[in-house]
Amino acid sequence: MKSEHYLAVLPSRYGRPQGIGGGGPRGHLNNDTGAAEEWAEMVRSGAVPGPFATAAHRRYADAAADLYLAASARPPELNFPSPALFARAVAADLPGVLAAEAHAKELAQRLRPWGAVFDGIVVWYITTRPLDYVAYLAPSYESARDTLDDSLEDAGVRFDEIFRAYRAARLPYAVRKCMAANHGWHVAVREDLPISSPLWPLDGRQWTHFRQLQNPFETLLDLWCTGYLLFSEFTDKDPVARLYIQWP
C-alpha cells in the first residue's frame, strides 16, 4: 500500500492492538503465580485454541521487558504468557497476534537479500516502555534503507524531500522514516530505477533493479498496523522475531 494509507491509519493504531483496545483486559502488570493456571483454563474453555497454545515456535518472556535488553539481561522464556494480565492480553487479540507474527516472518523473508536470518521462533514480550525513538532496527533493515536512499539520490530523487511529507505525523521517528522509505520504494519501482548503490551483502549482480525485490518497508508498516511492535536483530547471533505488546 502507499504511505498515504499508513499516514491515515497508524496514528490511531500504532501501539494499540485492536482486540485489547476494544474492551480487553486492563490493570497493573503485577508478577503473580497464577498465570500458568489461568492460561490452562483459557485453553480448557476454548478461549485459546489448543493448537495456538501448544505451537512450538511461540514463546513468552517471563515479566515485562524493555525493548533494549541485552541478550544477557533478557527475562526467561516460557510456553505461556506471564503475568496473568499478559495472558489475558494475548487471549484478547489472537487474530492480531497471528497477523503480527505473519508480518514479522514476511519482513524477515523480504530482508534476506540484505542478510536477514530468521529461525522461525517468535518471542512475545510485554513492555511499559513505548518505542518513541529508534534509529536502528536491524542490520538488514538499515542496509535496505541505505540502499534505497543512496539509489534514489543517485537518480536525482532527494529522500529528504520525500520525508518532508511525513515529518509532522504524530508517530515515532522510526515509523515516519519507514513511511518515507515505503514511498521511496514505490517511486523506485514506478520509475524502474536501478540499484546503483547496493549495500553489502546485497548482490548487485543478482538484483539490479528494485522491481526485482519485495518491499520490506510496507511489511513493517503492516505489522505496526496490528498495534504490535517489533525489535529484532535477524542475525546469525539472534535470528528470533521479538514482538512486543505495549502496555498502557
Residue 77 backbone dihedrals phi, psi, to 5 degrees: -105, 135
In this prediction, residue 44 carries a pLDDT of: 95
| Sequence-ordered list of residues with C-beta below 8 angstroms from that of 56, at least 6 positions apart, any chain | none
Longest dimension (CA), the chain: 60
Strand pairing of 122-127 and 241-246? parallel
- Rounded to whole angstroms, the Cα distance separating 141 from 164 reads 21
- Pick from 111, 145, 142: which is nearest to 213 by CA? 111
| Residue 7, pLDDT score | 93
Amino acid at 220: L
Q: What is the rounded CA–CA span in Å between residue 78 and residue 88?
A: 15
Rounded to the nearest 10 degrees, what angle do helices 173-190 and 139-154 cross at? 50
Specify the pLDDT at position 133: 56
pLDDT of res. 144? 96
Long-range contacts of range 71-76, CB-CB < 8 Å, 24 or more positions apart?
A: 71/238
Q: Phi then psi for 28, rounded to 5 degrees?
A: -95, 145
Amino acid in the structure at residue 40: A
Task: Count Cβ atoms below 10 Å from residue 164 Cβ, excluding itself.
Answer: 11
Position 5 scores a pLDDT of 92
Per the listing, cell 493456571 goes with 37
Each residue's pLDDT, cut to its tens digit, for the chain (248 residues) gives 888 899 999 999 999 998 775 445 555 566 666 889 999 999 999 999 999 999 999 999 987 777 666 777 788 899 999 888 889 899 999 999 999 999 999 999 999 999 999 999 999 998 877 666 565 689 999 999 999 999 999 999 999 999 999 999 999 989 999 999 999 999 999 999 999 988 889 999 999 999 999 999 999 999 999 999 998 999 999 999 999 998 76
Report the pLDDT value the prediction gives residue 19, as an integer from 0 to 100.
76
Domain ranges for the chain: 3-246
pLDDT value for 130: 67
CA distance 106 to 22: 27
